[in-house]
């Protein structure tokens, strides 16, 4: 039988039968919530910075997002050795072929020129009536001069030390042909062993074999044995195959 706060016994367990006081009901104990034990500070799964909220303040990564896949470790490629190639049998060249060295092309024909005072050419120049034709006198004596042709080109002209012009075929004289330019023409070799004449835009031009028409400047004209190249007022250069 319950007893109220005034000490009365009552048959009712809610209110006292004597004084009417309500009996105090026991207050249920609050339910306890299991709090997980903190093992340490949270860190961002992306950059490892301390994490105070869902999103990282350093890189902005979402801590609740699934973690990125771990990179796959790349191992060094396995090199498979190729099987050694079987040696190829090479036949030895014959002694005659093996002992012969490679030789460059050699000019088999020797060439030279003869420089002479040509009266026939001189008369043709005077008959053409050039501006200085009357003042030019044919030399009373002019011995022939011989020049061998060597190398790839041979220059023709009159020497000028002050201008640094030293032609291979120097027509300075005496006697001197005033119609020859300082650097008048070139003799250039051909691959077949012959030669060609090139007028280097000379003042009075270059002609061939007593023809009146001058050669085109800077254009090679092949020469044959015995051809005559005319320069200046009376100089003829005859090419010869020796």
Tens of pLDDT, residue by residue over 206-221, are 999 999 999 999 999 9
User: Cβ contacts of residue 121 below 8 Å, gap of 6+?
Assistant: 210, 230, 234, 235, 236
The label of the residue with tokens 């640094």 reads 164
Distances 41 to 37, 48, 49 between C-alpha atoms, Å: 12, 11, 10
pLDDT band at 192 (very low <50, low <70, confident <90, very high): confident
- Point out the least confidently predicted range of 7-11, 123-127, 142-146, 171-175: 7-11
Angle CA 19–22–24, to nearest 5: 135
- Point out the least confidently predicted range of 43-52, 88-97, 167-176: 88-97
CATH top class, domain 111-241: mainly beta
- Annotated domain spans of the chain: 111-241
Instruction: Give the bridge partners for 99, in sequence order.
Output: none
Distances 70 to 47, 49, 66, 156 between C-alpha atoms, Å: 14, 18, 12, 85
pLDDT band at 136 (very low <50, low <70, confident <90, very high): confident
CB 164 within 8 A of CB 141: no
* pTM, rounded to two decimals: 0.56
CB 8 within 8 A of CB 1: no
CA distance 165 to 24: 139
pLDDT band at 140 (very low <50, low <70, confident <90, very high): very high
What percent of the chain has a predicted confidence (pLDDT) above 90?
A: 46
pLDDT band at 234 (very low <50, low <70, confident <90, very high): very high
**pLDDT value for 76:** 56
H/E stretch holding 119 reads helix 119-127
CA distance 225 to 17: 164
pLDDT band at 9 (very low <50, low <70, confident <90, very high): confident
Between residues 183 and 7, the one the model is more confident about: 183
H/E stretch holding 123 reads helix 119-127
CB 179 within 8 A of CB 232: yes
């Amino acid at each position: 039988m319950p007893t109220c706060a005034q000490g009365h016994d009552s048959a009712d367990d809610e209110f006292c039968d004597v004084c009417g006081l309500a009996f105090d009901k026991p207050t249920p104990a609050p339910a306890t919530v299991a709090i997980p034990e903190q093992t340490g500070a949270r860190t961002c799964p992306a950059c490892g910075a301390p994490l105070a909220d869902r999103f990282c303040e350093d890189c902005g990564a979402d801590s609740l997002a699934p973690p990125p896949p771990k990179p796959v470790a790349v191992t060094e490629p396995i090199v498979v050795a190729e099987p050694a190639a079987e040696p190829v049998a090479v036949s030895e060249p014959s002694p005659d072929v093996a002992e012969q060295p490679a030789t460059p092309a050699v000019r088999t024909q020797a060439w030279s020129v003869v420089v002479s005072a040509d009266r026939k050419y001189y008369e043709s120049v005077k008959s053409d009536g050039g501006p200085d034709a009357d003042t030019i006198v044919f030399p009373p004596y002019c011995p022939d001069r011989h020049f061998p042709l060597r190398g790839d080109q041979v220059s023709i002209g009159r020497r000028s030390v002050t201008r640094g012009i030293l032609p291979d075929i120097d027509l300075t004289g005496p006697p001197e042909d005033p119609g020859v330019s300082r650097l008048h023409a070139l003799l250039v070799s051909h691959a077949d062993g012959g030669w060609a004449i090139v007028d280097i835009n000379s003042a009075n031009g270059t002609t061939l074999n007593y023809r009146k028409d001058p050669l085109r400047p800077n254009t090679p004209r092949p020469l044959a044995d015995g051809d005559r190249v005319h320069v200046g007022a009376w100089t003829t250069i005859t090419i010869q195959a020796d």
